Amino acid sequence: MIELLTQPWPWYVAGPLIGLIIPLLLIFGNKTFGFSSNFRHFCAACIPTNLTFFKYNWKKEGGWNLIFLVGTIIGGFIGGFLLMNPEPIVLSQGTVQTLSTEMGITDFTGFVPSEIFNWETLATPTGIIVLALGGFLIGFGTRYAGGCTSGHAISGLANLQLASLIAVIGFFIGGLLMTYIILPALL
Amino acid sequence: MKFSEILRYLFFGILFGFVLVKSEVISWFRIQEMFLFDSFHMYGIIGSAVLVGLISIQLIKKFNIKDSNGDPIVISPKDPSTVRRYIIGGTIFGLGWSMVGACPAPLFILLGSGLSIFIIPIAFAAFGTWVYGATMHKLPH
């Protein structure tokens, strides 16, 4: 049983479970699944300004989502710490090859390359760009596009929203540019 | 909010976070693998999640299923009157998604797994959202 909870799950188990979050939130709460609004709720709650975009009742509109967010942190702790998979992720050979030759990645253990994602790297130009600018682009871009992977790629597409399909095309334009051109030049 | 509601959303969040860890969606390596088109894994996850969501929504609409309080279920649509904001905003997000190897929820899931450094992209994502709120009237939508 414990082994079932520590080992990685195949896509055909994980994907449908993620999809089920949509009807669960709709039926038990009447909420449309989407995660990135939480950054807006943060700003509305913590950065007092006169901006109309942040003037709304964040507790009423976003309270449930902020609690959901706390849940994801706990889920990460249970799944990624308490019940951590001790084995490195089984990546395709092509990806390992590309990441090591084009981006100089050597450590393939854990969820993220330890060379980039650590507190020491934060003091280097690469660290600032990846961690700070990367985070900025996520927060700015999701709000500009009106949703992230959960709001557009999962619930938007599931609800047959053309806007979401366009946003997902945008996600891939940006992602492909980064993976094929910018990251190899940066790392 | 009632205590039972708090527990409910907390539970959904835990479930979501746990599944995203076990499916390795929160991995920077998996995101690169997806953009490199080297594995079906991420496409299988997103595709099957969309399929289950789509069937659920169709069933809810067809049978007019009510929520647990007996109220009609309302699904907020995305604004269809524009294309520009989705392409521009989407591309900006895509750049960040591949760079950090995480979309918004995984940033928090990674933090929960013990990677404290993820507080930095989280803080800057909140700042990015604030800058959007401050400049949105000057941006093409």
Of B112, B89, B96, residue with least CA distance to A69: B112
* Contact: B20, A72; criterion CB under 8 Å: yes
In a domain, B114, yes or no: yes
In a domain, B55, yes or no: no
Q: Which residues of A touch B116 (CB under 8 A)?
A: 119
In a domain, B48, yes or no: no
Of A92, A132, A150, residue with least CA distance to B19: A150
Q: Which residues of B touch A137 (CB under 8 A)?
A: 92-93, 95-96, 99, 128
Convert the pLDDT of each residue in B106-130 to its tens digit: 999 999 999 999 999 999 999 999 9
* Contact: A27, B68; criterion CB under 8 Å: yes
Per-residue confidence (pLDDT) for residue B40, from 0 to 100: 98
Asked if pLDDT for residue A110 goes beyond 80, the answer is: yes
Convert the pLDDT of each residue in A62-109 to its tens digit: 999 999 999 999 999 999 999 999 999 999 999 999 999 999 999 999
Q: How many domains does chain B have?
A: 1
User: How far is it, in rounded angstroms, from Cα B65 to Cα B4?
Assistant: 22
Q: How much of chain A is in helix, strand and coil states, percent to nearest 5? A: 70, 0, 30
User: How far is it, in rounded angstroms, from Cα A127 to Cα A116?
Assistant: 6
Q: How many CB atoms lie within 10 A of CB B59?
A: 11
Per-residue confidence (pLDDT) for residue B1, from 0 to 100: 86
* Contact: A75, B94; criterion CB under 8 Å: no
In a domain, B65, yes or no: no
Which amino acid does the sequence have at A126?
Answer: T
In a domain, B46, yes or no: no
The whole-angstrom distance between A128's CA and the closest CA on chain B is 9
Asked if pLDDT for residue A47 goes beyond 90, the answer is: no
A25-29, A131-135, A153-157, B78-82: which has the minimum mean pLDDT?
Answer: B78-82
Q: Which residues of B touch A139 (CB under 8 A)?
A: 96, 104, 124-130, 132
Q: Which residues of B touch A117 (CB under 8 A)?
A: 28, 115, 117-118
> Which range marks the domain in which residue B130 is found?
3-39+77-138
Q: What angle do CA A33, A48, A141 make, to 5 degrees?
A: 45
Contact A18, A150 (CB under 8 A): no
* Contact: B125, A146; criterion CB under 8 Å: no
Convert the pLDDT of each residue in B32-43 to its tens digit: 999 999 999 999
Mean pLDDT over A48-62 rounds to: 92
Q: Which of B14, B52, B93, B120 to mutate to test the interface with A (most CBs of A within 10 A)?
A: B93
In a domain, B119, yes or no: yes
What confidence category does residue B80 fall into, taking pLDDT thresholds of 50, 70 and 90? Answer: confident
Residue A128, chain B, CB below 8 Å: the answer is no
A175-179, B77-81, B119-123: which has the minimum mean pLDDT?
Answer: B77-81
User: How far is it, in rounded angstroms, from Cα A25 to Cα B118?
Assistant: 27
The whole-angstrom distance between A148's CA and the closest CA on chain B is 7
In a domain, B18, yes or no: yes
User: How far is it, in rounded angstroms, from Cα B46 to Cα B26?
Assistant: 13
pTM, to two decimals = 0.96
